[in-house]
């Protein structure tokens, strides 16, 4: 998605790294191997219990969003960073797009599952990767033009 945005005329993409994953094997390697640009912001949040970490991210993201005033916030996956970015944007009335929307484990004991569900419900545009993810969103009342996918129902 990031590469496609960088190729789009008139789109200015900048990245925020919350610091949730901060060691080389969980952070730097992905930027290098996936050719992701350096983040404009590194919030340096680090480790903490889920609530504390997510709360710190929410506060720091709000500061960034108020400074930058973006047209959209794009979040990926199911991390605490994902839900914090989505919540910060939604609370500031900035539209949110979620990549990997609709994925479900159906195990509410997993923190990532809670992050997935909350992020999807806070998002304005949902990029669902599979037919199953589209159906999961439909079961939760999310459908129509908000949901985008490469999956086709008629195939």
Model confidence pLDDT, tens digit, residues 98-112: 999 999 999 999 999
Confidence of residue 155 (pLDDT cuts 50, 70, 90): very low
CA 44 to chain centre: 18
Q: Which residues pair with 76 in a beta bridge?
A: 99
Q: Mean pLDDT over residues 107-123, rounded? A: 97
| pLDDT (0 to 100) of residue 80 | 95
| pLDDT (0 to 100) of residue 26 | 59
| pLDDT (0 to 100) of residue 5 | 75
Nearest to 150 by CA among 123, 128, 125: 128
What is the reported pTM? 0.89
**What does R_g of the chain's alpha carbons equal in angstroms?**
16
Res. 97: pLDDT tops 70: yes
Tokens of 65: 């969003």
| pLDDT (0 to 100) of residue 102 | 98
Q: What is the pLDDT of residues 37-91, one digit of tens each?
A: 889 999 999 889 999 999 999 999 999 999 999 999 999 999 999 999 999 999 9
Q: What is the pLDDT of residues 132-146, one digit of tens each?
A: 999 999 999 999 999
Place of tokens 């999310």: 142
| pLDDT (0 to 100) of residue 29 | 75
| Rounded alpha-carbon distances, angstroms, from residue 129 to 25, 43, 154 | 26, 29, 16
């Amino acid at each position: 998605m990031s590469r496609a945005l960088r190729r789009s005329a008139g789109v200015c993409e900048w990245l925020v790294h919350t610091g949730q994953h901060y060691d080389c094997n969980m952070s730097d390697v992905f930027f290098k191997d996936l050719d992701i640009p350096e983040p404009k912001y590194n919030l340096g949040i680090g480790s903490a219990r889920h609530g504390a970490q997510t709360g710190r991210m929410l506060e720091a993201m709000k500061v960034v969003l108020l400074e930058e005033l973006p047209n959209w916030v794009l979040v990926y996956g199911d991390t605490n960073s994902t839900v914090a970015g989505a919540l910060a944007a939604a609370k500031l009335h900035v539209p949110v797009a979620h990549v990997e929307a609709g994925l479900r484990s159906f195990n509410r004991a997993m923190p990532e599952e809670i992050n997935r569900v909350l992020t999807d419900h806070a998002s304005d545009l949902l990029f669902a990767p599979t037919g199953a993810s589209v159906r999961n969103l439909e079961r939760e009342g999310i459908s129509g033009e908000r949901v985008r996918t490469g999956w086709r129902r008629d195939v």
